[in-house]
Structure 1
Amino acid sequence: MSFPEEFIHYLWKFCLFNKQDYKTVAGESLDIISVGLHNMNAGPDFESSKIRIGGTLWVGNVEIHIRSSDWNRHQHQFDLAYENVILHVVSVHDESVFRKDGTEIPVFEIKDLIPKEIAQNYASLMANMSWIPCEKHLSSIEPFFLKNWLSRVLIERLEEKSVQVNELLKEYKGSWDDAFYIMLARNFGFKTNAVPFEMLARSLPRQLLAKYKNSSSQIEALIFGQAGFLNEMFTESYPNIIMQEYRFLKKKHGLKSIDRYLWKYMRLRPRNFPSLRLAQFAALIWKSNHLFSRINDENDIQNIFKLFRDIPLNSYWDTHFRFGKKCNQTVSSLGDESIKNILINSVAVFSFAFGLTHGNKDHVNKGINLLEKMGPEDNAHIKRFIQINWIPENAAQSQALLQLKKTYCDQKKCLSCGIGIKILAKNNATTVSDIF
């Protein structure tokens, strides 16, 4: 059976070969003292490895390929970064390879050294068509191990999202309030209207809104006008008033609204209509200037919840989900699930990113603790995890499960996943202790 290069990386990293006296293809004894550090960037696959070949101790890099001829196929013979390779680990040796000075690179062929159980487990995982490859094996993994691995994956997710925060900070010259305003707007649109919400926020600087912080109607006029909702005459008083206000402000500040057609209503419940979300967003902006700074100074999750729950909407939205269409009394405030979504995807992420940027462990932990204090999310992926009896205890675990599914399961990166490694090497348990 042919195995991908990633699988050989895994075998070398944990030294999971059949125990015997190893030899190079030239017949020299091989003693693996240290496999080295796995290099995830360009260059040789493992760095600072330590091996003894014959009677000589070598310290340098190890390169891994399926076939030794891949060395030349990948043009390594012309790359100075590979001059310090001391061992070429391959599944099949089919061609000798040389450094630029003409010296031959020792080869370690492993095709006959792969433990049968590990090979079978790997083949089973890769062939599995279940929702996640290890679905049928989860019951054999200790809950403590699963919980620890999810903690690791959660940090990966928060670090990944922190990169987005850093990009916004760079764009807005280090302003945390401006960066938070953009991400908050995007999250107010949830998945369906995330893009137009972000476009709206970018077209309407936070500093401009701050000029009108004493007038809720002007804030509403700017939000709805820039969203493209005030380009027509209305029969009702409230939308006509803010429409006239927007015309004045648009001319005064040279504003250009985004297109109305960008906003989506299809398959949305009325409480999620973009018109109502825009009203809620406008109320939050009017109520809370420098919102991130306020949140950053607050440690009580209930008080943070209240910032989003107690937003004073215009009474018009007590009987409307959209302009010009009156209906029975609505619940116009943000629901708990909506607030939780915003706290997960905006507040917790920014607290974590702030802590990373400033080397402040308290803020890093604040972002994590916020997720741990909220209940798990309720979406299609989490429901599917629950069906296979993996029930998250809180939002921290549900976020980790979403990251696990996206980053590991969907891409079948079982060899990079602690759970996959545990399953593959369950008969070599002592070798996977380094995972944590």
Structure 2
Amino acid sequence: MKEEYIHYVWESKRLPVQKLVLVDGNPLEILEFGQLNHDTGPDFFNAKLRLEELIWSGNVEMHVNSSDWYKHGHQHDPTYNNVILHVVYNYDEAVFVNGRELPTLELRAYLDLDHFKNFQYVFKKDEVLPCQPQLKQNKLLVFQQVSVAFSHRFDRKFKELNQVFENANQDYKQVLHYLLFQSFGGRVNKLPFQQLSQILSYQLLLREAWDIQRVEALMLGSSGLLSSAANHPYTDRLKEHWYFLKQKYGLIEMHPSAWRFSGVRPSSFPNLKIVQLAHFIVQWKYEFLPFQSNNLNQLREKFKSNISPFWRNHYSFKSRTLKKHEAHLSEKAQNVIFINAFALFFWFRGKQKGKDRDLQMAMDILLQLPPEENAIVEKWKKRGVDIESAFDTQALLEQNQFFCSIRKCLHCKIGNFMLSNKS
């Protein structure tokens, strides 16, 4: 027996709900099954049950064996104090919460074992992707699951941003500031860019936005990367600005070792990315947000500015390139910013304020942008999945990480369809 199968049985209500009896002989009436919890904590939230003529509201926890409660250490976690029902396949030990025996439902006598055998057959361990034939045959089902995966991804990120929002005294611009920096960092330098956004608030940068070199000095100086710059008229001037601004604002410097260069393409070296971000901030000044997705071109104009010629022959402060290169952010790189900063910001604000307009704007931005290009997206293409926009690629990245890679087939519409057709 697998715990995820118990989750599936409970969520899909594949139980004789009129005949359920607890291990102590008392009848159980399920009024509401609750919502599956995808994070840490009890498995189902907000269930409602009738036990001994009393109505109980709270959480439900599930295990293969009841003794798993103690093996998993739940007795030491106050998060589990509000569990009102323990659902197990095998009852082998009584569980006590706050000195009271936890009501327990043993499923052994209620499960359809033929159905469980079908589950084991359909989702064999040795198959890389059991649903692959369905990806080409049932486009509607794939579309529905893509929508589920997209919501899962952006709702997950919404929860992560809530703490940023609270730390910023519920300042939406500071959240966008954080997202903007994070998106410029990419996968490898995401964390140091987040730290830089906390050292330099958007208000501080706007005070100096009248001079691009002062903003460059603030950002490169605070990053700790400016300290390694060799003598050059451009870098010497940046250092002069930095020494003054550091004292003026009482700023700290990050340690240069926080930044990663290995495994990063030269065009994505943090020095150049910081400069590109500084120029975008000075051009944009946090003033304009597109209220229609076709206004993105107005934001694209803000990426065009006169970046110092120094960066036409440098990707970092450490070496000079013989061949000149483009110093501006490419359109493909701009798309990454639109996806990971602006679309996510609209989703966050829409969820916080309950504004459907913002949520739709987030989706419109993604639907307008071309698909992302990476190895995971390429795998989905080869499996026969139609990919038309960044909306699809964002959803499929989530599908790969949080459904397919960890075999959460029972939480996927495609997996549920396959199992129901086998039962």
TM range (shorter): 0.7 to 0.9
**Which structure 2 residue ranges, 5 or more long, are not aligned?**
none
SS in 2 for 1:419: helix
* Partners of 2:101 and 2:260 in 1: CA distance: 65
Letter in 2 for 1:184: L
**TM superposition shift of 1:333:** 1.1
* Partners of 1:205 and 1:66 in 2: CA distance: 49
The CA deviation string for residues 193-229 of structure 1, in whole angstroms up to 9 with x for no partner, is 2222222222223222212211112112222222223
Contact 1:24 1:106 in 2 (8 A): no
**Which structure 1 residue ranges, 5 or more long, are not aligned?**
429-436
Contact 2:31 2:50 in 1 (8 A): yes
Selected match of 1:114 from 101, 112, 115:
112
**TM superposition shift of 1:284:** 0.9
**Partner residue of 2:181?**
185
**Partner residue of 1:241?**
237
Do the aligned partners of residues 193 and 91 (structure 1) sit closer, same or farther apart at CA in structure 2, a change above 3 Å counting? Answer: closer
* Partners of 2:56 and 2:159 in 1: CA distance: 32
> Is 1:312–2:310 an aligned residue pair?
no
**Partner residue of 1:164?**
160
**Partner residue of 1:295?**
289
* Partners of 1:148 and 1:269 in 2: CA distance: 36
**Partner residue of 1:432?**
none
After TM superposition, the structure 1 = structure 2 runs for residues 123-142 of structure 1, keeping only pairs within 5 Å, are: 123-130=121-128, 133-139=129-135, 142=138
Letter in 2 for 1:350: F
SS in 2 for 1:294: coil
> Is 1:175–2:171 an aligned residue pair?
yes
**Partner residue of 2:263?**
267
Do the aligned partners of residues 93 and 166 (structure 1) sit closer, same or farther apart at CA in structure 2, a change above 3 Å counting? Answer: closer
**TM superposition shift of 1:242:** 1.5
After TM superposition, the structure 1 = structure 2 runs for residues 320-331 of structure 1, keeping only pairs within 5 Å, are: 320-323=314-317, 325-331=320-326
**Partner residue of 2:33?**
36
**TM superposition shift of 1:337:** 1.7
SS in 2 for 1:295: coil
**TM superposition shift of 1:329:** 1.9
The CA deviation string for residues 218-263 of structure 1, in whole angstroms up to 9 with x for no partner, is 1122222222233256343211222222222223332222122322
* Partners of 2:94 and 2:255 in 1: CA distance: 63
**TM superposition shift of 1:334:** 0.8
* Partners of 1:16 and 1:329 in 2: CA distance: 66
Selected match of 1:145 from 132, 141, 146:
141
**Partner residue of 1:10?**
8
* Partners of 1:148 and 1:327 in 2: CA distance: 51
The CA deviation string for residues 45-81 of structure 1, in whole angstroms up to 9 with x for no partner, is 8833589xxxx99976887653567789987xxx996
**TM superposition shift of 1:353:** 0.8
Do the aligned partners of residues 317 and 9 (structure 1) sit closer, same or farther apart at CA in structure 2, a change above 3 Å counting? Answer: closer
**Partner residue of 2:48?**
48
* Partners of 1:249 and 1:72 in 2: CA distance: 56
* Partners of 2:302 and 2:199 in 1: CA distance: 23
Contact 2:131 2:414 in 1 (8 A): no
Letter in 1 for 2:33: G
Contact 1:273 1:322 in 2 (8 A): yes
Contact 1:69 1:97 in 2 (8 A): yes
**Partner residue of 2:225?**
229
**TM superposition shift of 1:299:** 4.2
Letter in 2 for 1:318: R
* Partners of 1:331 and 1:211 in 2: CA distance: 29
* Partners of 1:311 and 1:226 in 2: CA distance: 22
SS in 2 for 1:325: coil
Contact 1:9 1:64 in 2 (8 A): yes
Letter in 2 for 1:187: S
* Partners of 2:236 and 2:196 in 1: CA distance: 21
**TM superposition shift of 1:268:** 2.4
Contact 1:226 1:256 in 2 (8 A): yes
Q: Which moved more, 1:61-70 or 1:258-267?
A: 61-70
Selected match of 1:408 from 399, 403, 406:
403
**Partner residue of 1:154?**
150
CA-atom RMSD in angstroms: 3.9
> Is 1:423–2:418 an aligned residue pair?
yes
* Partners of 1:301 and 1:262 in 2: CA distance: 36
Tell which structure's C-alpha radius of gyration is larger. 1
After TM superposition, the structure 1 = structure 2 runs for residues 340-419 of structure 1, keeping only pairs within 5 Å, are: 340-419=335-414
The CA deviation string for residues 249-297 of structure 1, in whole angstroms up to 9 with x for no partner, is 22333222212232222232221122211110111122121x2x51254
Q: Percent identity over the alignment?
A: 23
**TM superposition shift of 1:134:** 2.8
**Partner residue of 1:204?**
200
SS in 2 for 1:321: coil
